[in-house]
């Protein structure tokens, strides 16, 4: 399938311009949309590749630029500083997500009633928190995501369905944290599924994870088997939930 890419500019409340990378399938009929919430690195090649693969699969997709100005890094200390700063004002961060969502939903190629979020690491938290705050999304898929809640899910507020892909060898997000998410979602009557992939470390879906680990001395690792299986599961999940 032929796809096209463009930049979506959103203005945050403080005037920062958020430059999200958009990938669209050819065609004139509006299609289901997926926001890609990236890892703490920002809008690097991996989330752009995710958006383009989603467009190849028939979805409209956009990589959310929550840091602003399209900035990105491969330095873990810088990424951690940016993420920590963003999380220090969670409601402003959620407002940025809401504004990107609204601008993405307004694109003529996007069916605004059928939007999901695919979140990676830090982005997994963003997707879950958007649903926790009743932003208009129908599905959230997380890959090695941070499940810490901005506030616990509430019944009839958190209405999105959830798919979680977690690595059994993840030293950054514990199984205890995933069990806590399971309890949180169950208590709110959220429809969810949690898949745990053997021998998969944090960042298992990102082909650049081994390089980032070596450069930064952090415990990341790409796992091709887990990456392929979780991707296929996510695409099937989004096709079902955004039908």
Instruction: Provide the CATH number for the domain around residue 204.
Output: 3.40.50.1820
- Give residue 124's domain range: 3-241
Task: Return the pLDDT at 44.
Answer: 97
Number of domains in the chain: 1
User: pLDDT > 90: what percent of the chain?
Assistant: 99
What is d(CA 160, CA 131) in angstroms, rounded to the nearest whole number?
6
Alpha-helical runs (H) found in 40-121: 45-56, 76-87, 90-105
- Distances in whole angstroms, Cα of residue 160 to Cα of each of 70, 99, 150: 28, 19, 16
- Given this model, what pLDDT does residue 1 score? 81
Which residues of the chain register pLDDT less than 70? none
Percent of the chain with pLDDT over 70: 100
What pLDDT does 187 receive?
98
| Residue 192, pLDDT score | 98
Which residues sit opposite 143 in a β-bridge? 120, 165
Q: Which residue from 186, 187, 197, 97 is spatially nearest to 144, judged by alpha carbons?
A: 197
Task: Read off the pLDDT of residues 217-241 as tens digits, 9 standing for 90 and up.
Answer: 999 999 999 999 999 999 999 999 9
The answer to whether the predicted template modeling score (pTM) of the entire model surpasses 0.85 is yes
Instruction: Tell me how far apart the alpha carbons of residues 92 and 99 are, in angstroms, rounded to a whole number.
Output: 10
Distance CA 19, CA 14 (A): 15
Tens of pLDDT, residue by residue over 150-194, are 999 999 999 999 999 999 999 999 999 999 999 999 999 999 999
């Amino acid at each position: 399938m032929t796809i096209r890419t463009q930049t979506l500019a959103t203005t945050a409340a403080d005037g920062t311009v958020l430059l999200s990378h958009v990938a669209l399938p050819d065609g004139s009929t509006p299609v289901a949309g997926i926001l890609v919430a990236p890892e703490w690195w920002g809008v690097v090649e991996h989330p752009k590749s995710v958006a383009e693969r989603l467009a190849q699969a028939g979805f409209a997709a956009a990589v959310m630029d929550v840091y602003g100005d399209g900035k990105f890094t491969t330095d873990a200390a810088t990424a951690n500083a940016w993420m920590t700063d963003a999380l220090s004002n969670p409601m402003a961060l959620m407002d940025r997500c809401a504004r990107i969502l609204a601008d993405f939903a307004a694109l003529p190629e996007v069916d605004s009633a059928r939007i999901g979020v695919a979140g990676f690491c830090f982005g997994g938290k963003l997707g879950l928190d958007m649903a926790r705050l009743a932003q208009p999304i129908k599905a959230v898929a997380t890959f090695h995501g941070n499940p810490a809640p901005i506030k616990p899910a509430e019944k009839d507020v958190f209405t999105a369905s959830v798919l979680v892909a977690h690595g059994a060898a993840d030293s950054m997000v514990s199984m205890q944290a995933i069990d806590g998410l399971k309890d949180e979602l169950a208590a709110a009557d959220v429809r969810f599924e949690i898949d745990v992939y053997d021998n998969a470390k944090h960042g298992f879906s990102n082909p650049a994870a081994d390089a980032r680990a070596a450069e930064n001395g952090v415990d990341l690792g790409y796992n091709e088997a887990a990456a392929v299986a979780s991707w296929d599961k996510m695409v099937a999940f989004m096709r079902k939930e955004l039908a």
